[in-house]
Amino acid sequence: MRHTRKLFIAAGYGLALGFSAAAGAADTQAIAAALKQALPGIAPDSIQPSPVKGLFEVVVGPKLFYVSEDGRYLIQGSLIDAKERKDLTEARLTGARLNALNKVGLGKMIVFKPKNPKHVAYVFTDIDCGYCRKLHSEIDQYLREGIEIRYLFFPRAGEGSDSYYKAVSVWCAKDRNQALTRAKRGEAPERKECDNPVDEHMALGNAMGATGTPMIVTEQGNLLPGYVPAAQLSRILAQEDATAQSKQ
């Protein structure tokens, strides 16, 4: 999974040859077959018609791109409704991000739960990141706001770094929440190894386009890069909920 992002970067150069075999077959099965040939091992979560005639929307994890109906051309980027001035791609990506997070599952996250839950926020974190430590030092404020914090690891220095092994050690600790809090305070965790989801977290963060930490994913699937104070995050989440309810 760690190479998913690289595959998508390369896709724009290599997919035309793979799709040409499916030229003339205007259906999702042909597109799926072309994808399988061009990107072995990457299975689309969904293939469906886009709002633009002749263009299909393909979702893979938290990523979305478009494919022509003959299976030959791939487009990466945002689809904008110029009349409505609306980013149609971002609207669809929110759901894709949440689906990808749900596939990881709560059992592979470190969760801090409030007594009176109102909202949820997913936080990609680096133990040694200054603003990640600031956010966690205020964890009680987030909990008082009713925000459940669901942590995933994203050591920016990469696999094999000191930050990476700290993340693994925290996950392998008997009390992960306590171990994370201590590590965020600068206490070096006892070095441990076990089955862990750190690589999976990193791959997902990369697929979502993470360039720094903390990176927050809201309960509506929107991205908030960087530290957001508890009170401000609470307002953002409440506004998101109100907007989502108004559309129902």
> Which tens digit of pLDDT belongs to each residue from 36-91?
777 777 778 888 888 988 888 999 888 898 888 777 788 888 899 898 888 888 88
Question: Domain check: are 207 and 153 in the same one?
Answer: yes
115 and 232 in a common domain = yes
In sequence order, what DSSP letters do the residues of 19-41 get, joined into one string?
HHTTTT--SHHHHHHHHHHHSTT
172 is catalytic: no
User: Could you tell me the pLDDT band of residue 178, with boundaries at 50, 70 and 90?
Assistant: very high
Identify the residue with better confidence: 98 or 44. Answer: 98
- Indicate if 126 belongs to the active site: yes
Which amino acid, residue 36?
K
DSSP classification of residue 110: E
The reply to whether 134 and 205 lie within a common domain is: yes
Report the CATH number that the domain containing residue 180 is assigned in CATH. Answer: 3.40.30.10
Q: Domain holding 70: CATH number?
A: 3.10.450
Question: Rg of the chain's alpha carbons, rounded to an integer?
Answer: 20
110 and 211 in a single domain? The answer is: yes
Examine the residue annotation and report whether 87 is marked as an active-site residue of this protein. Answer: no
- Shared domain for 120 and 210, answered yes or no, is yes
Query: Is 194 known to be catalytic?
Result: no
- For 7-36, the pLDDT digits (tens) are 443 333 334 334 443 333 447 787 887 777
Query: Half-sphere exposure of residue 120, counting CA atoms within 13 Å on the CB side?
Result: 13
Task: Using the 3D structure, point to which of 23, 53, 83 is the last residue of a domain.
Answer: 83
Contacts of 75 (CB under 8 A, 6+ apart): 55, 65, 66, 67, 68
Q: Which of 72, 92, 150, 156 is catalytic?
A: 156
The pTM of this model reads 0.81
Give the active site residue among 126, 128, 133, 150: 126
Instruction: Assess whether 111 and 72 both reside in one domain.
Output: no
Joined together, the tokens standing for residue 202 give 């990193």
The answer to the question of residue 94 being in a domain is no
Shared domain check, 119 and 38: no
Same domain (yes/no): 63, 115:
no
The DSSP element (H or E) to which 64 belongs, if any, is strand 63-68
Confidence check: pLDDT of 200 > 50: yes
CB under 8 Å to 115, separation ≥6 — which residues? Answer: 143
Nearest to 241 by CA among 225, 223, 218, 216: 218
Counting the structural domains of the chain, the total is: 2
HSE-up of residue 171 (Cα within 13 Å, Cβ side): 24
Q: Is residue 66 part of a domain?
A: yes
Q: Residue 103: what pLDDT? A: 95
31 part of a folded domain: yes
pLDDT value at residue 4: 39
Catalytic residue among 72, 92, 129, 150: 129
Whole-number Cα distances in Å, 70 to 19, 30, 52, 120:
8, 8, 14, 41
pLDDT value at residue 193? 96
